[in-house]
Amino acid sequence: MNAPVVAGTDGSESSLRAVELAAHEARLRGRALRVVHAFTWPMTRVPLGASPLGPPDGGLRNEAEANVAEALARARAAEPQLDVDGDLVTGEPLAVLAAESRTADLVVVGSRGLGGFTGLLVGSVAVHLAAHGECPVLVVRGREEAQGPVLLAVDGAPDGAAALEFGFAEAQRRGLPLQALHSWNDYYYPTALAPGTMMPVAFDQEVHDSLEAEAHRLLTEALAGPRERYPDVHVDAQLDRLQIRPALIEASRRAGLLVIGARGRGGFAGLLLGSVSQAMLHHADCPVAVVRPGAEEPED
């Protein structure tokens, strides 16, 4: 199998944690690991070598090479038998990693790198790749060494087939159960009767029963095909009446990995990354794999 798992590194602790998880993923998949550092300085035409007045190991290129060497050491310590290599690639991180995704089995990045603004919960590289990557993108965030089942968000959208397949495959690789979660609710939101008036939130038992039956049908049908292809995966299919964002965030606290499609049923057609996927990148308590339609394993 030639398509590697790719890990982006910039020397930050977040990216080094991503390299370690990428090493584990590469072993599970029987793939090599490629560690990539996007080297932006050549584009600015500044001196890259050590200063005559400074230490011989100084300079921007030496610093970048040291970042790659540290990442390779972390990967080899995590998976000593793994085939690992690293590279400096000239370009902006967003463009470099998006290009790497064209020939990768999986791209793994940290939630925030050295260039991120302090107030952001997740960096622009992670969000950009989740929206534009041509293979599944795994963003390492949440609690350290998250353990638990593979959590799969299911909404029945036609574009969600790739995420379903990825979730089942991950559960099988890891030898873990799969928690398939579909969220629904039966509350009518307030409706304006006239300017300044509002109907209260309403509940109707008949509507409740109909919506619950539809949610159960949707979840069952979505899981039917993958269940046949992955008969050894234990599936815990769950319906949750919370709104989808709080439901997934709560479930992520007990999961080892959250798998979600890039866009669900409620997304705007022009958006490459939906609001639920973005919310998970910011708030999930475990690593998040975002799988876009067509972001399938490449031909080797």
**33-37, 229-233, 260-264: least confident range:** 260-264
What's the token pair of residue 240? 């949750």
Q: What local confidence, expressed as pLDDT, does residue 57 receive? A: 53
pTM of the model: 0.82
Task: Tell me the average pLDDT across 1-16.
Answer: 88
Terminal CA-CA length for the chain: 6
Strand order in the sheet with 84-90: 84-90, 33-39, 5-8, 106-110, 137-140, 288-291, 257-261, 150-153, 178-183, 235-240
User: Tens of pLDDT along 207-242?
Assistant: 667 778 888 898 999 999 999 999 999 999 998 877
Tally: H helices and E strands in the chain: 8, 10
User: Tens of pLDDT along 112-144?
Assistant: 654 443 333 346 788 888 888 899 999 999 888
Q: What local confidence, expressed as pLDDT, does residue 116 receive? A: 43
Band the pLDDT of 71: cuts 50, 70, 90.
very high
Beta bridge partners of 152: 180, 259
Band the pLDDT of 79: cuts 50, 70, 90.
very high
CB contact set of 231 (below 8 Å; sequence gap of 6+): none
CB contact set of 80 (below 8 Å; sequence gap of 6+): none
